[in-house]
Amino acid sequence: MAFDGPFDGKRMATLMQRRHSILANNMLAMREYAFYFVYGFTVPVRLMDVIDMMIHSQAMDNGNPNAEKLNKRVRETLECSKPTANNAIKRAHDREMISMIEEGTSKFYFFDTDQYAKVMKVLGYLEIIPAVVAEQLKDPYDPKAGSHLLPEEVYYNIVRGYEEKKNGKEN
């Protein structure tokens, strides 16, 4: 049972609704599911950020980033130290999500053709996800709203858990 009375002299705000839960959770969950579906393993957010910064670097610079430039962008995104950013980049490389070539004393990062195909597949799903969330917001009581737009492995709707709880199948 939820407590919804006054607390410590403060008035409580209106309770959040299903649509708020959909907005807060579904898009990010489907992003994680898209990465898992395409790569075949759980991709930590840090590695997703490395991929994001690779895409950004190639688009912004019209070329492949060197190690220092990629590290700087990953550092700014993750709000972390240089060694932590290096570790994230190394893990993405070790997981074969990005490639690296050494030219003299410089390292350059790039996507090979297979990695590029995976990135494009993920981006394709990411392009559809806002439309899925829009469908979910139209009917926040339908646990399958918008599910026809994505593979079931990528689709997520947090309100499905509400139906399970209502039916006594709480996780």
Question: Looking at the domain assignment, is residue 6 inside a domain?
Answer: no
Question: Looking at the domain assignment, is residue 56 inside a domain?
Answer: yes
Question: Looking at the domain assignment, is residue 84 inside a domain?
Answer: yes
pTM for the model: 0.87
Question: Looking at the domain assignment, is residue 152 inside a domain?
Answer: yes
| DSSP secondary structure letter of residue 99 | E
Question: Looking at the domain assignment, is residue 11 inside a domain?
Answer: no
Instruction: Count up the domains in the chain and report the number.
Output: 1
CA neighbours closer than 13 Å in the CB half-sphere of residue 8: 0
Question: Looking at the domain assignment, is residue 86 inside a domain?
Answer: yes
Question: Looking at the domain assignment, is residue 147 inside a domain?
Answer: yes
Query: What is the per-residue pLDDT across 93-132, written as a single tens digit (0 to 9) for each?
Result: 999 999 999 999 999 999 999 999 999 999 999 999 999 9
Give me the percent of the chain exceeding a pLDDT of 90: 84
pLDDT of amino acid 15: 86
| Domain range for 81 | 18-164
Q: How many C-beta atoms lie closer than 10 Å to residue 107's C-beta?
A: 17
The enclosing domain of 81 has a CATH number of 1.10.10.10
Burial class (CB within 10 angstroms; exposed 0-12, middle 13-18, buried 19+) of 126: middle
Question: Looking at the domain assignment, is residue 8 inside a domain?
Answer: no
Residue type, 92: A
